[in-house]
Structure formats: C-alpha cells, structure tokens
Amino acid sequence: MPRTADLQLEQFLPYRLSVLSNTISSAIATDYSRRFGLTIPQWRVLAVLADTPNLTAAQISTRTAMDKVAVSRAVASLLARSAIVRSPVASDRRKAHLQLSAAGTSMYAEVVPVARQYERNLLDGLTSNDRAAFDRILSLLLSRATELGPA
C-alpha cells in the first residue's frame, strides 16, 4: 500500500522528462540511422560543430551534456567518415579542435530539414502561447538544474 511519501514515478518530473527525451530520441534516431547512417551522438556532434566550430571533444561533451565516451566514439566515427576534421590545440597537443569538413557540412545540410520537420510535427497542436511557455519553462528548468547541481 503506497504511502504519501512514496515516489509516484508517473508524476516525478525527472522521470517524465527522461521518458520524453528517450522517446523522442529513439524515434528520430531510427530515421537518422535509416536515412543518413547517423547515430544520435553523431548528429549532436555535427549540429554542435555547425553551430560553433573549433570546439574540443570535451567542450562538445559539456555543451551537449553527453557522456565523454559517447562523444569520443561519435567523433572517431565522424572522423572516419571524413565528416569532421581536427587540428591540434597549440597550447595542448593532446587536445584537438574539431570542425565540419565539406562532407560534414553537406551531411548537416541534408539532416536539418528532416530534424526541423520532426520538430514541427512534434509541436503540432501546441498554440504559439503554449510553445512560448514551454520554451520559457525549459530554459528556467535548465538554469535551475545547473544551479542545483547533483542531488
């Protein structure tokens, strides 16, 4: 018999956000894999480098909140596909700046319309006020989670 202090998973915000994120990522990953041969980590690396070139893998990991190993694997596979190029960081030869190659830029340009259409389909049915409120709330929650740090 549940007590009032028990966690009700279906109402627990971190759980609900995780399920939402995993559901969306899984659906879109299937499409990206089939159409472009990309995993979600690979796509995220491409997208981040398209937005901000010359980041290190560690900076990408921080910016995406992805595990460093996942970023490292994505970077290695994108390098093997010649989608990104690296150049050593002058102050620390163990690090490298990454940027999209011409092939990576082309790949990114092909994926963006698909990603944007998925986003439009996902948000379809929300009013412009709903979307604005949702965006504001996501920003506030991210800011608050960053302030709070680990539980």
Domain ranges of the chain: 25-148
Asked whether the predicted pLDDT for residue 98 surpasses 70, the reply is: yes
Asked if 41 and 73 count as a contact pair (C-beta separation under 8 A), the reply is yes
Read off the pLDDT of residues 28-58 as tens digits, 9 standing for 90 and up. Answer: 888 889 999 999 999 999 999 999 999 999 9
Average pLDDT over all residues of the chain: 93
Closest CA to 37 of 85, 74, 86: 74
Read off the pLDDT of residues 109-146 as tens digits, 9 standing for 90 and up. Answer: 999 999 999 999 999 999 999 999 999 999 999 999 99
Q: From 3.20.20.190, 2.40.37.10, 3.30.470.10, 1.10.10.10, which CATH number describes the 25-148 domain?
A: 1.10.10.10
Higher pLDDT, 94 or 104: 104
DSSP for 65-132 reads T--HHHHHHHHHHHHHTTSEEEEEETTEEEEEEEEE-HHHHHHHHHHHHHHHHHHHHHHTT--HHHHH
DSSP for 5-36 reads TS--GGG-HHHHHHHHHHHHHHHHHHHHHHHH
